[in-house]
Structure 1
């Protein structure tokens, strides 16, 4: 502390922040002392510490059991796991200021990437578990460098493992904590690490700490407690509306930069700017500080049940109401165990000399399994006697059994969970009745889920507020679609003309106003499976044939087995409407996109019909021409055949006449030869 010449302390800005942090910490501890004590008891109870200390000590001294059948934790996990199955999802809608649907999709995909890469589901689940168990939990939004060799930063979410280390502004009344003015988060640091990082720093005991945060002193053993202090400062400023339509604060821009770009101020007004300041400090001095972007403190609470009773805020979760029936259940089940364990072994009624010579066997009859037991069938006087008789011990008291069952039913009623929701068979006789009973259990604890949705929505608003500050340069980022499929896009891509003047900025995430909407219900994979079942049922209806004609690729794409997407792609390639929809820009509304695709596909079908008709006309003309050509060819062939026949007959007649002449000539020659031979023979005969 700095002292002036008169011995009075001088309060500098740094000292004022330290004093303010200590005072706020003290205020929070006083305001939350009751809630913190009860919440710590709830956590211990759900972890198995369920017997009152005095009763447990007395029973242990008497060597009596203190059994814990922890059904409370089962009810809590049932509620938390239902929330995990239907984890809320952030969606982004374009509002104004240069925002459009395409940019909104890019921003939404970037948010999904931020949540996936930073494992935001762990932060959500941890906070939801504390919310259900004790009444509240937290997560925080932070930044980190993309890689060790990069200057680009990315937004990330981190879980708060111990919510008792968070001291949130008790004057905040919004269910998502969006109106908080300050927040303190404490953390431990090794002395050696602290001294290496802050060699000139000192520390001092912190006097005001809350239950659940082990801060007996600021320096505890080998560890030192440091704190992060977030606060909202309201700074007077002037709001400018530029000729580009963008609103900026006068303190955040330079007049010469506006003049160089030819931008003028259209109007201005005095206002108050919210500035988020972050300090890292000990109880004595500030170690580090910086201004954070955005308008809200990047620590988000998620509350369970909350009541304001006479100005005192009471927060609790599910465990608070389950403690008494759980204790009753533990007591009665322990009593049942005691009755069975302490009951005497079943004795035997025998005659005095009936087991003489076999005493060892009968002494161990209650501890060992013998195939037979020997006894004497006569008394000392020699008279016949009946065999030994076993006396059965006293049975379990029905009152204890009924009391344990009643305590178990009380726990179900308090938790609002019944047999179908717990996986047990109830009195329901149909699937619809079972589903309704499960929905009834979900409605009993829906306030936990609804509060989680509000907090995640506020988280989306904080991330949306941070994106223009940390994603303000041109770079390639990964985005994730609603179906979980990743893609890469270039944001803030500048399009220039020949002179190098920027004409357009593609995927500019630094401008525009967007609205955050939470999508609840089953996740994408579950919805996809349900859609597949519903679509299969639809195909069996009278309109199923029409659906198959226009949306067969969409139906097949819902199935979750290998090859479904490939089949859907092939069907889409053959579907004219699917081919047209892929070519329409994304910024066109879905209803208009469907109408345009239908009209274009209809025009294509009409063009194809006209083309087919033209082909058929040409084909008919070709057939007619072929018929005429064939007829001409047949006529020509017939004429040629006739001419050939006439020529053939003439040739044949000539040939026949020639043959006849040759035959006649030959016959004449033969006749002449015969006459010559006859004459010669006559002469010879005459000579002789």
Structure 2
């Protein structure tokens, strides 16, 4: 078998397995979404409708569809939210500025692709039927065919998507294969693929079921995962004169090879096919993720089979009953003008034509002849049927059952209800919001997977030296250079706040570092501005003194002409100490200063007294010591006098000679 035959054999088998395992859920989705919009009057079973319309006169089959308004409420709340993506680094090579660039690239992709349309389509489909989808593609630039762009496209009909039944994750990111198919006419197929022989529609091959009819041909995009061998190099590279060890996919000039390693990594392949032929491909897809994003509604697992649903699933019976009782009520009221008269043949015999039209025309009077057999009687209309209180009660109960099944109550719809206090109304609104939050959470899961695909694709698509536009959360656009060499001319026209030199010597190399995403869903930037404006306006209204300090911020959040000029003028009026990051110190309280001065004077007076006492003590001590020293001198003189008296003279005395 050729390579293409191997691909086709496996693909056809996989497609059949995917469709068969999901057939019940696909039928339930189709039934739910058709019922919710009353497609072709399907809220009335066909047999009952035919029976009622076949009566003489026909009985009404009215539809008062209560389901769409509940879904519209949840859908409207979702559309007021703004999905946003935060990119963050997860290894030592990641840089916050590169993370900001990647985040800006994703925002710009969403803006250029009108991704919100894809998100809304998928979410609305999920609300109605329990599943939705969008896709991520790589397309050539309209102006430059050598430039590729990432785009987010919507999938209007989620039933064109089928996936590996072995996928366990909510977002189906673990699916080994995914099909996106469509049925096209044979004429359209021949015009698009001239010379390609399609299979015969009357073939006995059972695997061909669903691929060919007498008028259509199924064309499918087939995505599948394969283990791909990749080579990595551990090299020593000199960056700014410093040798650094790093792992790269390609060796550069001057790199010193340390180790080479071949490993198998999951890769994705794509082809476009019909049952018996590969029309395009197979091609390698430059990401480890299949770029089909699945959003699911409320999901449970029964005996290993995933069961998903949207909002209408358990409200259908209550809606059928509501239609029935509403039709019965209308039928009862409509029959009031046609209540028959009690007459005898003699009374109307001469005026038959007028009486035959009495139920359809408004006559000013009706003629009759008195019946000799009943001279006291005259034509008399029967009592009209009264509107049944049971029907009215059932209508109210069925409407409540519809709301309960869909978890949307009167308070959420803005209607009056039995809840009168603000607390009770808010509690009921929160109950409805909590019940529908699981759909918002499902979208959050899908958005996270979609963002991972974008982050993984970015280094492959934006792999050349170029200026690209990024978009911030405030919708401000900036031109940023990526994959640029040092000194490259494009750096002059790029935003200088984003200049990250990577280890390989390039500026803003998106392939360096590992990044992850965090998806959030919250108020839009415009909504946040409105809330900020409202809060500051109420604050200034309560405390007018705040107007001088907050006036410029108030106008900054106003979407009116001249707001920017007003901000500049008001900012010049704000005192410098408020605008400064280091405001001057507040002068001390005079009362505190006076008390401190008094304490200081008291301390000085006390110190003076202590000093005088010490000096006096020292003087007395010195006097005592002096007196003591004088007494000691006198005593010493007296002692010396006694010594002199008692000691013999030293040396020869006068008149005495020395002895021989």
**Structure 2 match to 1:523:** 524
Residue of structure 1 aligned with 2:438, choices 426, 439, 447 = 447
Q: TM-score, normalised by structure 2?
A: 0.75
State the SS of the aligned residue for 1:294: coil
Aligned pairs for 1:273-672 within 5 A = 273-289=265-281, 290-343=283-336, 345-346=338-339, 367=360, 373=365, 391-429=382-420, 433-496=424-487, 505-539=506-540, 545=545, 549=549, 552-572=551-571, 598-599=581-582
Q: Output one character per residue of 1:35-94: Cα deviation in whole Å (capped at 9) or x when no partner.
A: 112122112212311222333333333333322222122222222222222242223234
- What is the CA distance between 1:418 and its match in structure 2? 0.6
**Structure 2 match to 1:146:** 141
- What is the CA distance between 1:405 and its match in structure 2? 1.5
Q: Output one character per residue of 1:493-513: Cα deviation in whole Å (capped at 9) or x when no partner.
A: 432299x99996444433333
Q: Contact 2:123/2:443 (CA < 8 Å) preserved in 1?
A: yes
Q: In the aligned structure 1, how far is the partner of 2:488 from the partner of 2:319?
A: 74
**Cα 1:45/1:577, change in 2 over 3 Å:** farther
- What is the CA distance between 1:222 and its match in structure 2? 5.3
Residue of structure 1 aligned with 2:161, choices 154, 163, 166 = 166
- What is the CA distance between 1:523 and its match in structure 2? 1.4
- What is the CA distance between 1:560 and its match in structure 2? 2.7
Q: Note if 1:27 corresponds to 2:17.
A: yes
- What is the CA distance between 1:529 and its match in structure 2? 0.9
Which shows bigger deviation, 320-329 or 512-521? 512-521
**Structure 1 match to 2:47:** 54
**Structure 1 match to 2:34:** 44
**Cα 1:285/1:576, change in 2 over 3 Å:** farther
Residue of structure 2 aligned with 1:231, choices 224, 231, 256 = 224
Aligned pairs for 1:7-156 within 5 A = 11-48=1-38, 49-62=42-55, 63-156=58-151
State the SS of the aligned residue for 2:290: coil
Q: In the aligned structure 2, how far is the partner of 1:396 from the partner of 1:411?
A: 23
- What is the CA distance between 1:238 and its match in structure 2? 4.4
Aligned residues: 559
- What is the CA distance between 1:140 and its match in structure 2? 0.6
Q: In the aligned structure 1, how far is the partner of 2:246 from the partner of 2:450?
A: 23
State the SS of the aligned residue for 2:463: coil
- What is the CA distance between 1:96 and its match in structure 2? 3.7
State the SS of the aligned residue for 1:412: helix
- What is the CA distance between 1:430 and its match in structure 2? 5.1
Q: In the aligned structure 1, how far is the partner of 2:371 from the partner of 2:187?
A: 89
Q: Output one character per residue of 1:221-275: Cα deviation in whole Å (capped at 9) or x when no partner.
A: 55432211101111244444444679767xx52x4xx2x1x23455665543111
**Cα 1:266/1:451, change in 2 over 3 Å:** farther
Q: Contact 2:224/2:290 (CA < 8 Å) preserved in 1?
A: yes
**Cα 1:431/1:486, change in 2 over 3 Å:** farther
Q: Output one character per residue of 1:347-377: Cα deviation in whole Å (capped at 9) or x when no partner.
A: 667999999999988876665556x65989x
**Cα 1:55/1:565, change in 2 over 3 Å:** same
**Structure 2 match to 1:623:** none
- What is the CA distance between 1:436 and its match in structure 2? 3.8
Q: Contact 1:241/1:247 (CA < 8 Å) preserved in 2?
A: yes
Q: In the aligned structure 2, how far is the partner of 1:166 from the partner of 1:246?
A: 45
Q: Contact 1:572/1:578 (CA < 8 Å) preserved in 2?
A: no
Which shows bigger deviation, 58-67 or 126-135? 58-67
Q: In the aligned structure 1, how far is the partner of 2:35 from the partner of 2:173?
A: 31
**Structure 2 match to 1:632:** none
State the SS of the aligned residue for 1:396: coil
- What is the CA distance between 1:282 and its match in structure 2? 1.6
* Gap regions ≥5 residues in structure 1: 1-10, 209-214, 581-596, 607-688
- What is the CA distance between 1:127 and its match in structure 2? 1.1
- What is the CA distance between 1:313 and its match in structure 2? 1.7
Q: In the aligned structure 1, how far is the partner of 2:437 from the partner of 2:118?
A: 20
Q: In the aligned structure 1, how far is the partner of 2:246 from the partner of 2:185?
A: 46
**Structure 2 match to 1:592:** none
Q: Contact 1:242/1:263 (CA < 8 Å) preserved in 2?
A: yes
**Cα 1:80/1:207, change in 2 over 3 Å:** farther
State the SS of the aligned residue for 1:68: coil
Q: Contact 1:141/1:156 (CA < 8 Å) preserved in 2?
A: yes
